[in-house]
Amino acid sequence: MPQILVDYSAELEFDRAGFAKELHPMIAEVIDTEVAACKTVFRPAVEYVLGDGASGEAFVLVEIKILAGRSAEQRAELTRRALGLLERYVSVPLAYGVEVTELDRATYRFGHLAAR
């Protein structure tokens, strides 16, 4: 179920597939889910401004959406470990954010549509 959204500076070069392939089993371990349930979308940002725009820093923002019900400790561990993984994949000056958000079990649905 986890949905991972990674917004990043389009000019930033890092192994996104490698990052996701390591992130998925880590998420599965921390919140007791299946690796196959993880879905990551990378969204390059061509235009962005950090602060007053003078720093020239790249950025990465990682949002990990999970179903509600995990403990604050699990969510904090997931944030900590995702950040550590990101630090291994990016070696340039970088503004970053990692957040774990919860989806409401009563209103969230995910499925697959068959081709028509």
- 48-84 pLDDT, tens digit per residue, is 999 998 888 999 999 999 999 999 999 999 999 999 9
Q: Could you tell me the pTM of the whole model? A: 0.91
DSSP state letter for 115: P
Mean pLDDT of 83-105: 93
Separation of alpha carbons 81 and 77, rounded Å: 6
pLDDT at 110 over 90: no
Which long-range CB contacts under 8 A does 9-17 form with residues at least 24 apart?
Answer: 9/44, 9/45, 9/48, 9/58, 9/59, 9/60, 10/44, 10/45, 10/46, 11/58, 12/58, 12/59, 12/60, 12/90, 12/92, 12/94, 14/89, 14/90, 15/89, 16/42
